[in-house]
């Protein structure tokens, strides 16, 4: 993902939108990191829904998030409405990585890389991505996967 | 407030809007009561901002919420965008009561009555609402206060 | 429930304990109302678990909270560990009311009354409490139900 | 920090404890990632308090978290009480990195690396760590900094 610039809104095929809440503020009057995490989660659910629309309903059962890396670039206040861009940034043999970004207007507030592993429900161990899952992931983000 | 029907959107002079988040869901896949409480809080901040715009900035310092009564009328799911209506429902000598409602389209999801007391910052005890505070509250909700 | 003093710790047969989190603080540096609501929820789950231990596992399926009334009595800070007392305060024909209280040491921080209705899963309408549910509820709180 | 094993509880000089809440559960009945983030935040506040006890009260004003990396190793349920270990893992010229871990008994649930930058309050730009800040950080975690 070295060449993928998560602060560039043009790379994201999937978008969602959420309103900042007063309850998101911490004692410093800034949106806290936990709320930023909830914005990213909304973007992932949106992306997952779009993938599911294009394949069978069980496509993404048996996946587990194993690692999140978030960079906080600007403080965010209340009130505000933010947009979350999401894409598939990398596809491995038994895992894939999402790239995401929260924007306030044109400003990038935070970026995230989310590693998700395919789990064999019987053994609880990582297992290979099935071909149709790989296809669904590739369809989401052709631009990102060019690099 | 016996005559004030909080399920009727026409009584609310102040409106805000918020998006339901995936993180608001509980293990039953319904929006949990805590999230509903955050929606109402957003509506109160919106109402307070509108009052402050019409009076001096310190108007609502020294107030404390002492009682909330919330009625849950319908289950709410994800994704959704809800609107929160807020009004001043009752003005007492040292307190006032807000009436609020969360709507999904035309459906009333939940209603709230919120009692807020004026606190003397020196003693920590309830004290009388100042005339200019009372005026600001009355300006917000003439319809509600007719009854 | 006129005679039931929710600020008196001696009335509660069921107790749980929770730690205040930094994330519970609002911009005023006090624990926000939403976090207080989560403490009460923990107490209800504890009470429900104790009831389920004494009857069949499906006892409390098909119930819905329809009304919560919370009184906030003192501000709460961080760090702190609070205790939540819960009891059955009233049993109606198709509903029951819990009485709850959050304590910091001997100080009562907030009290709650929670009305829960028995729902017929087929019709979605209120329905009578079954005799074994009524028994389970009565076993929880003999002291409270004396009045 | 290549040699620092965050799953080893012996490396952490600072510990805090928190109770899992029912509200932390997501629709899969597991503690969601946002709640795990709040546990780590509690550990950081605990560590900061211990540092402040050993230096002047303004030591940690003007810092901003710029990056968090969290690895999720095991699912966590409710009810539970977890312990959070925190240490200073790396000290740079204008930033430092905390290493943290959430444990359920002896099981490591999740680990975190948190990069915090010293901000010049006048310019909003990164600035060098003052000598007394560096000293305070070094005092927290001599074991970790050996490597």
Give the C-alpha separation, B64 to A92, whole Å.
54
Q: Do D41 and A64 touch (CB under 8 A)?
A: no
Q: Do C41 and D21 touch (CB under 8 A)?
A: yes
What are A46-51's contacts with CB under 8 Å, separation 24+?
A46/A14, A46/A15, A46/A16, A46/A84, A46/A86, A46/B79, A47/A14, A47/A86, A47/A87, A47/A88, A47/A98, A47/A140, A50/A14, A50/A140, A51/A136, A51/A137, A51/A139, A51/A140
Q: Do D19 and C17 touch (CB under 8 A)?
A: yes
- The confidence band for A58, taking pLDDT boundaries of 50, 70 and 90, is very low
Phi, psi (deg, nearest 5) at residue C58? -95, 5
| CA distances, A33 to each of A112, A113, B49, C41, D20 (Å) | 12, 15, 25, 24, 19
The size of the A-B interface in CB pairs under 8 A is 37
In sequence order, the β-bridge partners of residue C15 are C85
Give the C-alpha separation, D144 to D139, whole Å.
11
Q: Which residue has the tokens 């207080």?
A: C36
The size of the B-C interface in CB pairs under 8 A is 48
Question: What residue of C is the nearest CA neighbor of B73?
Answer: C66
> Is A34 within 8 Å of chain C by CB?
yes
With vertex at residue B44, the alpha carbon angle to CA B60 and CA B55, rounded to the nearest 5 degrees, is 35
Using a CB-CB cut-off of 8 Å, the residues of chain D touching C19 are: 17-19, 42
pLDDT value of position C52: 62
Give the C-alpha separation, B26 to B71, whole Å.
18
Nearest to A23 by CA among B43, C73, C109, C69: B43
Residue in D15, D16, D17, D18 to test binding to C, most C beta-carbons within 10 Å:
D18
| CA distances, B137 to each of B42, B50, C2 (Å) | 18, 10, 32
Q: Contact at 8 Å (CB) between D26 and B25?
A: yes
Token pair belonging to D41? 């935040």
| Whether the bond into D98 is cis, omega within 30 of 0 | no
pLDDT value of position B102: 98
Give the C-alpha separation, B22 to B35, whole Å.
11
For the complex shown, is ipTM > 0.85?
A: yes
Question: Is residue A100 scored above 60 in pLDDT?
Answer: yes
Count Cβ neighbours within 10 Å for each residue of A33-48 and write b for 16 or more, e otherwise: bbbbbbbbbbbbbbbb
| Whether the bond into C145 is cis, omega within 30 of 0 | no
pLDDT value of position D62: 83
Of C27, C32, C34, the CB nearest to A29: C27
Phi, psi (deg, nearest 5) at residue A124? 75, 10
Using a CB-CB cut-off of 8 Å, the residues of chain A touching C34 are: 23
Largest CA distance in chain A: 48
Question: Is residue A73 scored above 90 in pLDDT?
Answer: yes
C10-45 pLDDT per residue, tens? 999 999 999 999 999 987 789 999 999 999 999 999
pLDDT value of position A144: 54
With a CB cutoff of 8 Å and minimum separation 6, the contacts of C124 are none
Domain ranges of chain B: 9-145
Q: Do A27 and C29 touch (CB under 8 A)?
A: yes
C107-133 pLDDT per residue, tens? 999 999 999 999 987 888 999 998 988
Chain D contacts in chain A segment 65-124 (CB below 8 A): 65-73, 75
> Is C64 within 8 Å of chain D by CB?
no
Largest CA distance in chain C: 48
Q: What would the mean pLDDT of D34-43 be, rounded to a whole number?
A: 96
Give the C-alpha separation, B48 to B40, whole Å.
12
Nearest to A79 by CA among B118, C20, B48, C110: B48
pLDDT value of position A77: 95
Token pair belonging to C72? 């906030």
* Mean of all residue pLDDT scores within chain C: 88
Give the C-alpha separation, B68 to B112, whole Å.
7
Give the C-alpha separation, A60 to A119, whole Å.
10
**What is A9-145's CATH number, 3.10.129.10, 3.90.1150.10, 3.40.605.10, 3.40.640.10?**
3.10.129.10
Using a CB-CB cut-off of 8 Å, the residues of chain B touching C69 are: 67-70
Phi, psi (deg, nearest 5) at residue C95? -150, 165
B92-109 pLDDT per residue, tens? 999 999 999 999 999 999
Nearest to B27 by CA among C2, C48, C115: C48
Shortest CA gap C22–chain A (Å): 9
Give the C-alpha separation, D126 to D130, whole Å.
12
Q: Do A66 and D71 touch (CB under 8 A)?
A: yes
Angular region, D144: left φ>0, alpha ψ -120 to 50, beta rest: alpha
pLDDT value of position C143: 58
Give the C-alpha separation, B147 to A85, whole Å.
48
Shortest CA gap C46–chain D (Å): 9
Report percent pLDDT > 70 for chain D. 87
pLDDT value of position B100: 97
How deeply is C7 buried, as exposed, middle or buried, from its count of CB atoms within 10 A (0-12, 13-18, 19+)? middle
Q: What would the mean pLDDT of B105-131 be, rounded to a whole number?
A: 93
pLDDT value of position D15: 96
3-state secondary structure of A57: coil
D54-79 pLDDT per residue, tens? 554 444 568 899 999 999 999 999 99
Residues in chain B: 147
B19-50 pLDDT per residue, tens? 999 999 987 789 999 999 999 999 999 998 88
Using a CB-CB cut-off of 8 Å, the residues of chain C touching B70 are: 67-69
Q: Contact at 8 Å (CB) between A117 and A94?
A: yes
Shortest CA gap A43–chain B (Å): 10
pLDDT value of position A53: 63
B56-96 pLDDT per residue, tens? 444 456 889 999 999 999 999 999 999 999 999 999 999 99
Give the C-alpha separation, D137 to D132, whole Å.
9
Question: What residue of A is the nearest CA neighbor of D113?
Answer: A69
* Mean of all residue pLDDT scores within chain D: 88
Nearest to A129 by CA among A142, A116, A139: A116
Q: Do B26 and D29 touch (CB under 8 A)?
A: no
Token pair belonging to B62? 């020294």
pTM flag (> 0.95): no
Q: How far is CA B61 from the centre of its chain?
A: 17
Using a CB-CB cut-off of 8 Å, the residues of chain B touching D34 are: 23
Which range is least confidently modeled, A53-57, A94-98, B37-41, D95-99?
A53-57
Give the C-alpha separation, B63 to B28, whole Å.
36
């Amino acid at each position: 993902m070295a060449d993928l610039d998560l602060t560039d809104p043009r790379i994201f095929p999937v978008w969602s939108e959420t309103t900042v809440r007063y309850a998101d503020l911490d004692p410093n009057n800034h949106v806290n990191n936990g709320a930023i995490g909830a914005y990213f989660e909304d973007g992932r659910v949106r992306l997952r829904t779009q993938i599911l629309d294009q394949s069978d309903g069980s496509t993404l059962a048996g996946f587990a998030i194993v690692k999140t890396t978030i960079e906080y670039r600007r403080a965010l206040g209340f009130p505000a409405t933010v947009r979350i861009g999401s894409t598939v940034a990398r596809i491995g043999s038994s895992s894939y990585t999402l790239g995401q970004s929260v924007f306030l207007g044109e400003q990038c507030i935070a970026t995230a890389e989310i590693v998700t592993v395919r789990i064999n429900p019987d053994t609880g161990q990582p297992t290979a991505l099935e071909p149709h899952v790989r296809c669904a992931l590739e369809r989401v983000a052709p631009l990102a996967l060019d690099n």
